[in-house]
Amino acid sequence: MIGMTVYAALSNAGEIVGTIASSAKGEEGHLRGMAVRPAWQGHGIAELLLHTAEKDLRAAGCKRVTLDTTAPLQRAIQFYRKNGFAPSGRIGDFFGMPLYEYEKPLN
Ligand SMILES: CC(C)(COP(=O)(O)OP(=O)(O)OC[C@H]1O[C@@H](n2cnc3c(N)ncnc32)[C@H](O)[C@@H]1OP(=O)(O)O)[C@@H](O)C(=O)NCCC(=O)NCCS
């Protein structure tokens, strides 16, 4: 929370149902902490959070945005692909698990 901007989606009852966090470094924006509570998935909340974070990164001068994910998170990978992300080819290590970077130009 010190290093990133954290966004929260609230239900009408005021409970947090989704989150995303972003940071901008020069022309590159980075996202993490993308999650929607299971009962609220499939309702466009993730897209609203993503579009809000992307809009603010664009306004901050970012030309592209990256994020990291792992193979078991297939629903997240489908969501990112559906929203214009593609693998960058950079693969990191997350406690022994391959960490795949995805990226997207911010036009
Ligand atoms: C990733 C996440 C935020 C996406 O939110 P969402 O509300 O599920 O997103 P959507 O329903 O818009 O899109 C998910 C897509 O995954 C696919 N999908 C749906 N159910 C799926 C399943 N059981 N397995 C794999 N893919 C699935 C579909 O392509 C779907 O898009 P479509 O139905 O519109 O074509 C949410 O699933 C989540 O919180 N997951 C757990 C946390 C997580 O993995 N975070 C990512 C960390 S990198």
In short, whether 82's Cβ falls inside 6 Å of ligand 1 is: yes
| Tally of structural domains, the chain | 1
Å from CA of 31 to ligand 1 middle:
16
In short, whether 69's Cβ falls inside 6 Å of ligand 1 is: yes
Using one digit for the tens of pLDDT, what is the confidence trace for 46-95? 999 999 999 999 999 999 999 999 999 999 999 999 999 999 999 999 99
The residue whose CB lies within 8 Å of the most ligand 1 atoms, and thus the one to mutate among 20, 78, 100, 101, is 78
Whole-Å CA distances, 15 to 10, 11, 12, 64? 5, 5, 8, 31
List the CATH number of the domain containing 99: 3.40.630.30
Query: What's the domain range around 91?
Result: 5-105
**pTM assigned to the model:** 0.94
CB 77 within 8 A of CB 69: yes
In short, whether 73's Cβ falls inside 6 Å of ligand 1 is: yes
